[in-house]
Structure 1
C-alpha cells in the first residue's frame, strides 16, 4: 500500500492538471490533499502558530493579487550583511570567509530555511540497469540507465530508489563534462507543449559533453503528504518532521550529490566539470545543490523565484507566504513557516544573496523569461546576484559585475554570474544555447 501511495505522490502534480481524470485519480488526489493539509496543520501546531498570512494570487482580479508595481516592490531595501560575522567583526580575508563566515551562513540556512540534513544518511548502491546505443539527432550516443538503491535495513517498510539516466557520446577520447538536469516526469496522456527548439540534451551532446537526467520525485515526492515517505520518511522512520528537519529541496539536492558520487566512478566522465540544471521548483533545488555541494562546477538556475534566488524581502510576484502555505511548504524546513506569521520578511537573518554567496567563487547562470515569468521576479533574482558581489570580489573574482537590470535577450557573462532574460515566458529553451556557451567559456571547455 505504501508503494502505491508513493506512486500517487510522484504523479500528483501532473494528475491535477491532466485534461481528463478518472474517478480513481480524483479520489487519490483528494486523499493526498487531505494528508498534506493534516501534515501542514501539524507543523503549525508544533511551531505554536495559529494562522499564517495568505499568499498572493496569480490572478490580477483575484483576492490579494500579486504586486507587479516596481515602486512598491522593495519595502525592505537593506539586505543582511554578508561580510560581517555574527559577533560583529568584519570579514576581510578569504580564510575568514571560508572558515568562519561561510559556516555561519550555512548554519542559518540549515536552521531557518531549508532544514538540517540528517547525519549518517543511508548508503546508496548504484545498479546499472541497461546500456543502449542510440541516435540523438545525428549523433551516436550510449544511454546508461541507473537505479540508486537506498539502504533501508533500518526501516524496511519504506523503499527508496533514485532514477538516473546518463547519455554519453559513443566516441569519447577523454573524460567529458556532464550537464545533469532535475527533470519532471509526465504521466501517460499528458503532453507538454510542442517546441521547434533543439532538445537540450542534443545541444549538449553536440558539444561532445554528456547529459544526465535525475528524477527528483523518484526519491522524494513533491507534496506534503509524501514527507513520511521517500528519503525524508525513511530517515524519520515514517514519522512526521520536526521544524528543524530538512525539506524537499534539501532532499532533492542530496539525490543530485549521490548522482555525482556515481559519476566520480565512471571513467568516461570528468566529474570536476559537472553542471546542475533545474527549472522553477527544480531551479530552487539546483541553487540549493550548488550552495551545499561545492563539487558542482557550475549550474543553470532557471526561473527559481521565491525559495530560490529571488530576494525574500521583495514584494513582487510570489512571496514568502505562498511558499509557507499548505501547497508548497514541504520544500522548506518547518522553521521557515514562521516568517509568514508571526515573524515577517525583514526578520529573516539571510536572503537569496546569501545563498548565492555560498556558490562563490564558482560560475553559474541565471536564466529567466520575460512575458509570463514575472511571478518568479526576474529583477529580484538579478538584485540577489548584485547583493552577492562583495563575496565574489573578496575571492578575487567578479560576480555579476553589473547593477543595471539588462534588456530582454541581453547576455551578461563577463563575470562569474551569467544572467539572461529571454522573451518567451516560464520556459528554459531560449536560454539553453546561452548557458552552454557560458559553461564552455567559464570552464574552459572549448
Structure 2
C-alpha cells in the first residue's frame, strides 16, 4: 500500500512539473551589453561621443552662445505634418497633439505596453506625527506589481503620503520623486522606552551573564536612546526657508514621496528588471520600448490612482515635482498624463526642457551614450555616426523640448532653474530651457490661458535676470540664485499654484 502511495505521489509531481508554465530565463546584461544589443537591433555600428563636462578636456562642451544654435529652426509646434496650420483648440487636441505624442513615444521616451501589470497598494504604516507645529497623518505604502505572468521579478513601489491632520476638507497635493521616508516617526514615551530597554537588558544578561560588570559600571546606559525627529521650537534654526515638505504642509497641502528606484533602476543593467523587465518577462527591450523616464512617470501615475481613493486628497489638484533627472521625469509625467493638475519642473536639462538642437552643454550624444536607459532605444539613432541608415543628428528628431512643454498646456507648468556659480551648471543650458518655454507658449495661448507674457519668438526673446519672477500665467519661469535644487522656488511655486487652483491656506 505504501509503495502505491509513493508511486501516485511521484506521478502527481511529474504531472505538475509538466503542466507548470515555462518562464524564459531572466537576461542579466551589463549596461554595455544591453546598449550593444540595442545598437545591433538598430543597425548602428558606432556612436558619436558626447561632449565632456570637463572644460579642460579636448572635447569639452560648448558654452559659447555664438556657436549654440547650429540648428536654429525648431519643429513647427502649430503646423500639422501635412503642412496645414493649427488655429483652433479643437485642431490641437484632435490632430496636432496626437502627432506630437506619437513622435515622442516612438523616437524619444518609448511606449508604455498595454499589458503593464496592475499595482495593488498596501498601507504598511499609519502614523500621527508633527511637521513644525502642524499635526500630520503619515502613511508608508508599498505598491505591489502583479507578477503572476513572470514571478522571477518583483516590483514593489515605495511611497510615503503625508496629509495635514486637521484639514476641514480635501487638500491639494504635490508628488515628489524622492526616497520614501516618514517625516517625523512617532517615538515611545519615556516610560515606554524604559520598559523596552529593561527588557533588552534582561535578555542580554540571560544570554551573556559576563556582561553584568559592564552594565553595573554604566547603570544609566540605555541601548535605545530617545530620538527626536520632530521640530524643536527652542533649537537654533538655519537662516532661509523651511524645507519644501514643511512649506507645503504649512500652506495646507499634502505631499507624496515616491522612490523612482523602486519602480525602475537608474542604469542600463536594470532594464531587464524593474517594471520594464517585468513587462518584458526579463528580456531586453525593443527599440520602441519605454525607458526609465517613462517608467518613473508611469509610477507617478499609479500613485495618482491610489490617491483617488484617499478622501482627504483633492484629486483634481495633484501636481508633480522633480529636479534634474527627476525634473525630466516630472515633465514627462505632466506631458503624458493629463490628470496631473500642475508641475514644478526643475533644472531638467537635456531630455527635459533643454532643446536637443542646442549645442550648449549636455547633448543628445551624452544621453545616447551614457544615460540611454532613460530613453527609448530609438533615441540612440540620433547620435549614430555609422549605421545601416547612415547617420543622424539632433536635427533629425521629429520633436523637441518646446513640444514636450506644450503637451502640458493649458495646465499650470512652472519651469525652475538655479545659477551656475551655485551649482546649477551651464551644462543644463538655462538659455535653451528659456527658449523652449517661450516657444511652448503659443500652445498655452491657443488654449485660452496665459504664457510668459512675451512673444513666442524663441530666437529673439531675452532670458530674464536671476530672481525675476514670471508668474502671471499658467506657464511660469523663475531662475533663483541657488544651486541644483528647486528649494528657493518652492514658496513661489506654492503661491503661484494657490492662485490658479483657488486654494487659501488656513490662517491666511
| 2:349 counterpart of 1:354 | no
Residue 339 of structure 1 corresponds to 382
Select which of 59, 62, 71 maps to 2:57: 62
Contact kept? 2:410, 2:444, Cα under 8 Å: yes
Select which of 21, 33, 37 maps to 2:32: 37
Select which of 306, 319, 336 maps to 1:292: 336
Contact kept? 1:115, 1:246, Cα under 8 Å: yes
Select which of 105, 108, 118 maps to 1:110: 105
Superposition TM-score, scaled by structure 2 size: 0.78
* Whole-angstrom distance in 1 between the partners of 2:341 and 2:158: 22
Residue 414 of structure 2 corresponds to 365
Note the 1:58-137 alignment, pairs <5 A: 58-137=53-132
Q: For residues 198-223 of structure 1, what are the alpha-carbon distances to aligned partners after superposition, in whole Å with 9 as ceiling and x for unaligned?
A: 11110000001101100010010000
Superposition TM-score, scaled by structure 1 size: 0.89
Q: For residues 362-394 of structure 1, what are the alpha-carbon distances to aligned partners after superposition, in whole Å with 9 as ceiling and x for unaligned?
A: 111111111232211111111101111221121
SS at match of 2:416: strand
Q: 1:344 to 1:353 in 2, by over 3 A?
A: same
How far 1:195 moved relative to its partner?
Answer: 8.8
* Whole-angstrom distance in 2 between the partners of 1:401 and 1:444: 21
How far 1:396 moved relative to its partner?
Answer: 1.4
* Whole-angstrom distance in 2 between the partners of 1:132 and 1:49: 53
SS at match of 1:112: helix
Q: 1:185 to 1:271 in 2, by over 3 A?
A: closer
Number of residue pairs matched by the alignment:
407
Q: 1:259 to 1:82 in 2, by over 3 A?
A: same
Q: 1:131 to 1:279 in 2, by over 3 A?
A: same
Residue 488 of structure 2 corresponds to 430
Gaps of 5+ in 1: 1-32, 187-193
Contact kept? 1:399, 1:416, Cα under 8 Å: yes
SS at match of 2:316: strand
* Whole-angstrom distance in 2 between the partners of 1:283 and 1:358: 15
Select which of 163, 167, 182 maps to 2:162: 167
CA RMSD across the alignment: 1.7
Contact kept? 2:180, 2:258, Cα under 8 Å: no
* Whole-angstrom distance in 2 between the partners of 1:212 and 1:298: 14
Select which of 242, 246, 251 maps to 1:202: 246
SS at match of 2:34: helix
Contact kept? 1:386, 1:401, Cα under 8 Å: no
| 2:374 counterpart of 1:379 | no
Residue 142 of structure 2 corresponds to 147
SS at match of 2:44: coil
Select which of 361, 366, 375 maps to 1:322: 366
Q: For residues 123-178 of structure 1, what are the alpha-carbon distances to aligned partners after superposition, in whole Å with 9 as ceiling and x for unaligned?
A: 11011111001111221111011111110100011010111101011102010000
Residue 9 of structure 1 corresponds to none
* Whole-angstrom distance in 2 between the partners of 1:136 and 1:356: 34
